[in-house]
Chains A and B, each alone.
Chain A
Amino acid sequence: MAESLLSILLVTSSAKGSSVVFRWPPCPQTSSRLARPRPPSDNLQLDNPWRAANFSDPFSSIMDRQKKDEALLNDMDDYEWKRPTTLRDRSTSFSRSAASSSGRNSPSKDAPFDHDDLDHPQETDAYHDLFGYSSEFLASMLCPQRSLCHQKFELRIDDLVFLGHPVGAESDGSWRFKSEKLKSGSRGRGSRNRDATQQDDGKSEISSIAEKGPPAQSLWLQMFHFVIVLDLPDPSSSASGNVAKYFDVIYEQIAFTVTAVLFQEQVLSNFVEAECDILVSLKDEYIDKGEPYSEFNAQALLRSSLAPAMKTLYEAIQSSTMAYITIHDLPLELQLPPYLDHLLHSEEEYDLDFVDYKEDDDESRAWGREMSFGWRLPALAPWKSLLLLDGDQGLDPYMNLRGPHVRPEERTLAQGLIKFLETASVTLSLADMASLLDWDLENQIYPTVRWLVHHRRAKVVDIVHSGLKTIFTLPPRFEASLSSLSIDFKREFPHPSIPHLPTILSNVSTATSKQSDNHFFATVVQSKELIPLYHDVVLWMLKHELLLTLHLRIRIVATSELKKIVRFAHERRLGRLSQRERQRARGRQLSQKFLESGDELSNGLSEKREMAGVAWLSLSPKTARRYSRRLPSTESGQSKGSDMSGSVFVEDEDGQMYEEEESEEENVGWGTREDNVWPSMISDPGMATPLERRWLAAMSEGKEEYIARRFEKINQYFDGKKTDDEILFRAEISRKQLREVLHHYEEYLQTFLHPS
């Protein structure tokens, strides 16, 4: 809900001047403002002697305070700032004709600088009074210069914000689409709220029509401006810049989109002018008859098609639902992001849940631009699952196809959608669905998911184990009161073996304190027969946002003992090497000499070396070390032997081994700061340093081969960031296999359980 939305206006401008053609609601009211700060509720201004004299014990003082507060509230009237209503003063004080705007000659003394005001009796004030201003004057302010047309319009007057996108006719009075570049840009953005798959069609359609030229000629309309009026939100309640962002979203999602459609219809069929003709003549008729504004308003809703659309839009925004409006037979679906209003409140109120909503990282990019902000969507990833919601209209894929715009490709789309909906289940990941339906994940599944989520018919959730062995926890707050939820729950699940909702919630909330058997099955279901029944319970709870899935993250610890073992092995190897060194001292001297003389040659050969792998012997020991440092150490570990074929200078086998082993050993970083025997975390096993790799390898010592191999394969995901679902998906292993690894490597692994 856009809690700040005050009104929606349609303003037009012609040679005769500007006017507010229609507005909804009929009499918008701004929220009250305080003229000065309220005194603290504690009567702080009273001095201490007074307080001492009036001391009362703390219990009765609460009552006193309540009384005082009430009195204060009654007394609050003069703290409220009253908007000066200029119109009323004027309408009684003097009268003037409306036509002239600058050619006044004799300023009257009592109102010396009012240019043009209408002379109207009191009862028609509603026609001309808008937010305390004359509506004609406000309309003139909302019709900017031509140079400010076709761009975002933003005007703030005290605490009223006017947002819109004024569009005007060309200088010759005709309505045309702008140049090619501008047109395609505006169409692309304008159709944002439609089905993503329709965008391209929409664009091409418009441009093809545009080339035909305008079929209808406008008579008087020079400019129209679809204006959203907002009450300036309290800036002190939110972080700096949020309010501007908030306006931007409303502008993009509502004002711009509606304007784009209206502009198109105006250009194509002079629609806006025709609507305005109806509304203006109706208004004049009702003013002449002296009927109240509400009568006009009711009649306008019947006679015009634009007026009810504005009403529907206003009401949908107020109730935070999707607005299904039809403008000149064009169905439009408009909505604001569900969490938009949270921008206006301090973090304390909303964002400090333990679930972090990162709105602008890579994860939300998968959702596309219009859903990346204010939607609080989880990442769209293959290991996520889809929960279908039962919307108000039910899931009727044909609903959008009833209009006159049915196209064959849309029909096939709808058929695909039905198939998709039948397959979707929270126990299936999106990747599973892709393979079941034989759809492409990126190009078919994701767009469908996006469409469903955007139309609030589904939401992306974490996959639920088919045996309900998923660990849940409770969200920080419930969307409804627990009592009403409990009643609904009981009505939905009258089965005697299903306990009350609070009992289930209580069990779920305490479950995580246990180290094992903390999943839903163990804590709530407890019987295999009940699993199908509880499936529905879980679905119901997920739909009502009563459950949050907890995820396992895994980190690897290199323990002190492990490090000691690795170091011991290293020292033993060193010992072996030094022994060998003594044996080979003479040979080494020779080879060194040989190598130094070959340095030049080796530099010249460097290009060849890059291509043909590393010719270890062609490098001086130092260069070789540098080179191998650039290689991942596993490769250097595997390079034994294989590189020998490429060596230019072949020495005897032992000497070669020696060179290589030494360089490898030095690469590992023995003796560096990293090389200690204190336990440490291997923060990113996928990018482990050579030393960390030694530790990882040492962890597998004495383990069964297949376990060790699996550990080697999946330890790259044990960085404490990837969830268990993600690991299972990426490593293509089963949950059981993962559990096996966790069990075997328990001493080196730390697990974390928190929501994502």
Chain B
Amino acid sequence: MPSEGDTFLPRIQSVFYAVFDDQQGPKIVFQVPEGLIGVSTTGPTYGTTPVSSSPTVNESDVPLSRRSSSSLISLAGQRPNSRSLSSPQHRSTSSNRCLFNFDDISKYVIPRSDFCGRLIICSTSNHRIIGFPVALRGRNYQRNYFRYNLCFVFERSADLSCYEPVVRKVSRVLTACEEESLFLSSQQAPHALYAILEQLYEDLNSYSETSIPIDKFNSIELKIFPFYPNPPPVKDWTVPLALINISKRTEENWDLTVLKVIKFIDGVNHVSRIAQLADCDLELTRQAISHLLYYQVIMIIDIFQYSNMYTLRKNVQWLADEAHVKEECGPYVTKPGLPIPDWPKLLHLYSRLKPGKTIYEWMDAYKVHELGIDVRRFASFGVIKVCIFPPPLCACIWFTDFLCYRDFYGGYIAGQFYFPWKRGQGRKYHRLAGEGKVSHRQL
């Protein structure tokens, strides 16, 4: 079983299903693993542990859904050992701990109708409970309504953003089942629900996805996506640079534009040029690049120009000692077949990049062309520094740029006026009489 440190996704501590009982009020009907949430009510929960704990769905569903998931963010690394997962029943017998008392949070789990149909996250001292309470009206119910909630319990510190859509969807599907066939309230198949909880708990924790058929028409199909922040907007004049070998990872069922676009991502072509070369719509190209950026397989740098200016960032003090930086820099920045300058020389060249001095002037001053250095690669190496083996895509790709880009722009009345150091991305700021920022290329 993957430890919590192995994955971005928080681990489900418990899944429980609670209803508003006509006699007893809010109560937990099933919980997986059992006994983790303290219930003080004396009344027996119906459907105690089914003796055979095997899920009612056949096993073949799981591998099927697994096979279909070889997308960029599949958590392939977690799979192999997940079969050795101990059954939830074993877990509950081995540990007697109680996460929290249900009474403490029952008013958030089965709230009044005002809060039904809303995503509710409440917390106890160590845990966080996410649920989507549902209230269904109907004359067939004893009280003319039926309220239930399927909740997931996590550690207090867990980031639940990736589970929010999951919770909503489970609730939606169960509501549909209830409305169609009284699946939840009929009490005819309580064990079916227990099996669903069990599978949710096991599959989501070990595979981050699940497929649970409920009846002829309904099934719960879930996949947890790790959460990334939105990428910045892609501008037509920026240059995408691949951080991994994307072409090795392509699949033919990918988006057509992405497939077309990635062929032209070489660290030289800018976005609108790529659109032109790939014969794609510009907006679609931007979106494709945005998606790649979202998954952090590319980064955005600036068009290389001899009029660019760069300057050192603070990181240089650490990166200059990094062995991988030292070793990679020379071979990367030197033109093929020419002798590779030593690291002190290259570092010296980097240290002489200053705001106010264009690449052209810098080359001139330090005779860079005589050293056989490909200046464009020299600059892009400085702007990005990519870890050599970007392992599973969802894991890490380190951006360790230690240069900061400055573009030349002489614009202000008082002379050349530089606004340095938006990292890497070479935004050109032109202050029109001091009012706000206008990107040079937008003018």
Contact = CB atoms under 8 A, between A and B. Distances in A.
A245 to B, nearest CB: 10
Determine which residue in B123, B345, B416, B425 has the highest number of CB atoms from chain A within 10 A of its CB, and name it: B123
B443 interface: no
Given A141-B111, A509-B420, 7 more contacts: A145-B105, A152-B125, A240-B161, A352-B425, A506-B417, A679-B345, A750-B348
A551 B343 CA distance: 22
Kindly list the 7 A-B residue pairs having the minimum CB-CB distance in the complex, ordered from nearest: A482-B434, A513-B356, A352-B423, A354-B421, A483-B434, A112-B144, A156-B121
Interface in A439-492: 473-474, 476-477, 481-486
A679 B347 CA distance: 12
Interface stretch (A230-238, A415-423, A532-540): A230-238
Contacts of A73: none
Nearest to B358: A513
B144 A506 contact: no
A236 B135 CA distance: 30
Interface string A37-80: 00010101000000000000000000000000000000000000
B387 interface: no
B354 interface: yes
B356 A157 contact: no
A86 B113 contact: yes
B115 interface: yes
A754 B227 contact: no
A374 B144 CA distance: 52
Indicate the size class of the contact surface on chain B: 35 or more
A511 interface: yes
Contact of A754 (B8, B314, B412): B314
B24 to A, nearest CB: 12
Contact of A144 (B104, B118, B313, B431): B104
Nearest to A155: B122
Contacts of B356: 509-514
Interface stretch (B240-248, B258-266, B315-323): B315-323
B58 interface: no
B337 interface: no
Contacts of B219: none
18 contacts: A86-B113, A107-B143, A137-B112, A141-B111, A144-B107, A158-B119, A235-B229, A240-B159, A352-B423, A354-B311, A355-B421, A476-B420, A477-B437, A510-B416, A512-B355, A513-B354, A681-B347, A754-B312
A678 interface: yes
A603 interface: no
A481 B436 contact: yes
A555 B355 CA distance: 21
A557 interface: yes
Contacts of B284: 44
Determine which residue in A107, A156, A514 has the highest number of CB atoms from chain B within 10 A of its CB, and name it: A156
Contacts of B343: 679-681
Interface in A725-756: 750-756
Interface string B1-28: 0000000100000000000000001000
B229 A473 contact: no
B406 to A, nearest CB: 9
Interface string B341-369: 01111011001001111000100000000
Contacts of A144: 104, 107
A109 interface: yes
B314 A107 contact: no
Contact of B114 (A42, A137, A485): A137
Given A44-B283, A137-B112, A486-B434, A145 B103 contact: yes
Contact of B314 (A148, A349, A354): A354
B120 interface: yes
Interface in A102-153: 102, 107, 109, 112-115, 133-134, 137, 140-141, 144-145, 147-148, 151-153
A486 B433 CA distance: 10
Contacts of A349: 232
B424 interface: yes
Interface stretch (A174-182, A310-318, A497-505, A642-650): A497-505
Determine which residue in B112, B412, B415 has the highest number of CB atoms from chain A within 10 A of its CB, and name it: B112
A346 interface: yes
Contacts of B107: 140-141, 144-145
A235 B121 CA distance: 15
B355 A473 contact: yes
A284 interface: no
A155 B351 contact: no
B310 to A, nearest CB: 10
A362 interface: no
A481 B435 contact: yes
Given A113-B144, A147-B104, A680-B343, A754 B313 contact: yes
A681 B320 contact: yes
A21 B104 CA distance: 24
B68 interface: no
A751 B145 CA distance: 76
B404 interface: yes
A305 interface: no
A683 interface: yes
Interface string B90-107: 000000000001011101
A236 B420 CA distance: 28
A353 interface: yes
A627 to B, nearest CB: 29
A721 B317 contact: yes
